[in-house]
Structures are given as C-alpha cells and as structure tokens.
Amino acid sequence: MNPTIDILHEAKTKKTWFAPSGKELVEKPGLLPVFSGPKQRLIRLMIWINILAVAFRTYKNPLGAIAETKRLLKLRNQFRSGHSLKKFAHIDGRYFFTYNAPGWPSAAFNRYISHQLRNNRDGATNDTIHSLVFAITKKCGFKCEHCCEWEHLNMPEKLSREDLLKLVSRFGELGVTQVQLSGGEPLNRFQDILFLLNHARRDIDFWMLTSGYNLSVEKALKLKEHGLTGITISIDHCEESKHDKFRGVQGSFQRALHAAACARHAELAVCFSLCATSSFISKENLFRYAQMAKDAGASFIQILEPRAVGHYKDKPVTLNSREIGVLESVYEDMNYRSRHFDDFPIIIYHGYYGRRIGCSGSAKDYVYVDTDGDVHSCPFCQKKLFSALDGNLLHHIRQLKQLGCTVFANCSKKN
C-alpha cells in the first residue's frame, strides 16, 4: 500500500485533533473549502480572463496588456517551478488560489493584479505595495518558542485605535490590498479591530494572526460582520503536548482548534501557520499535520522556517539542506503532484518562493510594521527603518524598494 495513504489513514484516527464538541461549535452545512477538478479549471480560466481585463485597463494598449499578462504568467511559473496549481479555496462566494492574495472576484483582487502587473514591469520604480503585516499589540499571555517580538511583549501600548486606522489608511493609498493583523495576540484589542474594520477602505482584505486565544463564535461572527476575511491560527505541531510546550501554555492546542471551529462557523477563511523546526520536520509529521488542518476545515497551511531572532536569537535554529528538501518535497506533492491531496489545504511555503524569486519583503510586495508603528523590511529584520505614521511614506517606500533587504539578504539560501 502507498505509505502516504497509510500515514493519512492513521492520522484520521487521532481524535485529539478535533475541536472540542459543544452546542456553539456546530458548523454550518456547506461545501468543502478546497476543491479541484473541472470546476477549478473553469474558475482558473475565468480568473485569467479577469486578469487580462485588468491589464487592458492598466495599459490601454491591447498588445502591451497581452505582453504584460504573459510576463505575469512567466513569473507565476517561476514562482511555482513550472507547476500549475490544481486546487482553489472557496470561502463565502470568493475563490482563493493563495493565502497571500485577495479572493476573486473583488475590488481588492483587481488592485492586487494591477500591483503585480506593475511590479513585474517596473520593479523597484513601482510605487505600489501589496501587503502589510501589522503588529497591533504588545500584549500576549503566551511564551512562544519562536516569538520575533519577545523583547517587547506586554510593554505599554503605544498605538491608539486612531493610529491603527491612520497607518492602514496611509498604506491603503499606496495600493495595499491585504492587511495581516498580528501582535502579540491581536484578540487582546478586539474592539479596536472592529473599529479598524469598520472605518478602513472596503477594497482591502483583512486577516488576523492569532494563537486562538479567547475566540468565540460570537466574536468570530462580529469579526465577519465587520469585514474580516480570515484568521491565521498558529499551530506548531500535530501532537497536543508538543504544541502546548512550544507555546508555553497548557491547553493552547485545544484553544487553537476551538478557534478554527468558531471561524468556520462564521464563514471566515482559516489558515494554519506552522513554524517548521528541525525536531518536527518529517514527511510523516507534515502529512499528519495536513490531515489535522483538513479535518479542522482549514483552507491554507502556511509554512515558516525558524530564524535566529527574537526568542530564537543566537540559537542554532536555521534549517539544513536535508530539512529544506523534505519541506519542498511535501509542498510540491501536496500542491501539485499527488491526487491524494486534491481536497487538502493549499500550502504556502515562503522559503520555497524566496529561493526561486527572491524575498518579497522590503516593499517588493510587503513590509512589516511593529507595535510602535515603525517599518521593518520583514518580521525577521529587527532594524527599525522609519515611522509609518509620520513623514513622506511614499518617499520612504521608494527608498526601501531600491535598497532591498540587506540584513537577511542570504536568509532564503540553502545551507
């Protein structure tokens, strides 16, 4: 028998991977969040027709529009090493081919495509930026092994809710179409998140990165009502005790699965985020993790490689070439090669992309803003560059695009 099938069969028997039962956790009936086959191919064709239409509006010249669309297709092939994505996620009337782009159809998706077209052609001279990762709070009750903000946790807050809105609005003027709210634990500023969602522009997809702490069905429904697109839940092992140890809090695994069930009930998109450490990496663990995410109704799995910053500062956490090879093999199997995974969550693996097309931070596609409102090239670059609340933001972004990330210039190379 296929060893992959053996692993998946065993994974399905692990009852501890299911969210706790309870009246409020009864999920609304509906289609599976991930699909493939003829429907996926039809939706993909419709999306490319939409992309071509955006190119026509962007460039006016039909020949130029076709040429730029072909360039975008070439970049996508490089991004995926020539593979064609076999599955999409379907959440509340929109289709997602990746966690890092807005769902289609939407105004946010069209702005995102316009950014990609311009970025593909203009590179560092392009003024637009697609995504913002924004740490909105220092507060957190967890003690996560890999935390990048470890030295700043639970210090006094600096940013008011008006500051949050001002900062997001400034980036919205530069074309941002996706904002990922992180921390700390962003649910500690639940009312401020509702305020931000209520007053932000409508053509931005908002995601929240959370440990699952204190999320209920009532809160999930309110977040959905006010405009949240989805939640990214940090789960760092497929075994409960090992995840709880990684997070430094007993019961954090069950809280995370509870949060996923609440989000699914509210028809929010769900992504599981995994910091893949050396001790975790094996095909068996990765397949079991994927089964867990599928059973919880997740549409995406985000794989992060540990970096020696924050709580990991000066520690030997960087993955070696064998471990990276395992991650890349499983990524390709689950997204592109094996039919056994056609209805499993779509895997997003930033290290895979970075080794092929370069880092997407430093305003190439996104920047990171910390809990003081200061801009960094990415969450792993600890150097504060400039304030996002003051000064000429466009000028600073242009400079950052030209400079690129120098601190972690080699962070995506194999060792």
Query: What is the distance between the alpha carbons of residues 255 and 73, in angstroms, rounded to a whole number?
Result: 40
- On the 0-12 / 13-18 / 19+ scale of CB atoms within 10 A, 296 is buried
**In 3D, which of 345, 302, 350, 342 has the Cα closest to residue 324?**
350
Q: In this prediction, what percent of the chain has a pLDDT beyond 90?
A: 65
Question: Which bin fits 277, alpha (ψ -120 to 50), beta or left (φ > 0)?
Answer: beta
pLDDT tens digits along 271-293: 999 999 999 999 999 999 999 99
Say yes or no to pLDDT of 309 above 80.
yes
User: Within this chain, do residues 216 and 244 fall inside the same structural domain, yes or no?
Assistant: yes
Q: Could you give the CA distance from residue 163 to residue 137 in angstroms, rounded to a whole number?
A: 12
Q: Please report where in the chains the tokens 């400034």 appear, as a residue.
A: 170
Strands 87-91 and 34-36 come out as antiparallel
- 23 is a domain residue: no
Q: Domain count for the chain, please give it.
A: 2
CA-CA-CA-CA dihedral for 132, 138, 139, 141, to nearest 10: 90
Determine which of 26-40, 152-166, 180-194, 220-234 has the lowest per-residue pLDDT on average. Answer: 26-40
Q: Is residue 20 part of a domain?
A: no
CA distance 312 to 359: 21
DSSP type of residue 345: P
b (16+ CB within 10 A) / e for 207-245: bbbbbbbebebebbbbbbebebbbbbbbbbbbbbeebbb
Is there a contact between 231 and 210 (Cβ–Cβ < 8 Å)? yes
Which of 120, 138, 167 is where one domain is finished?
Answer: 120
- What's the mean per-residue pLDDT of the chain? 87
Is there a domain that residue 105 lies in?
Answer: yes
CATH code assigned at 308: 3.20.20.70
Residue 134 lies in domain: 3-11+124-403
**Residue 292, CA distances (Å) to 2, 54, 162, 267, 271 in order:** 19, 38, 39, 19, 12
**163 and 40 in one domain?**
no
Note whether residue 98 is domain-resident. yes
Q: What are phi and psi of 256, to 5 degrees?
A: -65, -45
* Domain C-terminal end among 101, 120, 139: 120
Residues 160 and 81 in one domain: no
Q: Which of 67-81, 250-264, 324-338, 379-393 has the lowest mean pLDDT?
A: 67-81
Chain centroid to Cα 244, Å, comes to 22
More confident residue, 123 or 415: 123
**Cβ distance 133 to 185 under 8 Å?**
no
Q: Say whether both 226 and 181 belong to one domain.
A: yes
Match 């599976």 to its residue by tokens: 32
Q: Residue range 231-254: average pLDDT?
A: 95
Q: Could you list the beta-strand ranges (E) of 185-240.
A: 205-210, 228-234
Question: Is residue 415 situated within a structural domain?
Answer: no
One domain, residues 100 and 56: yes
73 shares a domain with 205: no
pLDDT of residue 405: 67
Regarding whether 98 and 195 lie in a shared domain, the answer is no
Residue 182 belongs to some domain of the structure: yes
Q: Are residues 111 and 165 in the same domain?
A: no
- Segment 311-330 shows an average pLDDT of 94
Query: Is residue 116 pLDDT above 80, yes or no?
Result: yes
Q: Which amino acid is at 78?
A: Q
How confident is residue 25, by pLDDT bands cut at 50, 70 and 90? very low
Last residue within a domain, chosen from 120, 152, 182: 120
248 or 79, greater pLDDT? 248
**What contacts 285, CB < 8 A, 6 or more positions away?**
237, 238
Residue 27 belongs to some domain of the structure? no
Residue 112 and residue 38 share a domain: yes
Side chain identity, residue 81:
S
Tens-place pLDDT, residues 136-151: 999 998 888 888 877 7
Q: Classify residue 367 as exposed, middle or buried by CB count within 10 Å of its CB (0-12, 13-18, 19+).
A: buried
**Distance of alpha carbon 213 from alpha carbon 194, whole angstroms:** 17
pLDDT band of residue 30 (cuts 50, 70, 90) is very low
Q: pLDDT tens digits for 178-203?
A: 999 998 999 999 999 999 999 999 99
Q: What is the pLDDT of residues 55-93, one digit of tens each?
A: 999 888 889 889 989 988 888 887 788 888 899 999 999
Judge if 72 and 203 occupy the same domain.
no
Please give the helix or strand (H or E) that residue 27 lies within, else none: none
Instruction: Please tell me whether residue 159 adopts helix, strand or coil conformation.
Output: coil
Instruction: Check whether 22 has a pLDDT greater than 60.
Output: no
Distance, CA of 375 to CA of 230 (rounded, Å): 24
Q: Does residue 329 sit in the same domain as residue 191?
A: yes
Q: Which of 30-34, 72-76, 169-173, 245-249 shows the lowest per-residue confidence on average (mean pLDDT)? A: 30-34
State how far the Cα of 358 lies from the Cα of 360, in Å rounded to an integer.
6
Asked if pLDDT for residue 20 goes beyond 50, the answer is: no
Residue 143 to residues 29, 135, 185, 396, Cα–Cα distance (Å) = 36, 17, 11, 34
Q: What's the CA gap between 121 and 151, in Å, rounded?
A: 40
317 and 348 in a single domain? The answer is: yes
C-beta neighbour count of 25 within 10 angstroms? 17
Please report the pLDDT score of residue 61 as a whole number: 86
DSSP three-state, residue 397: helix
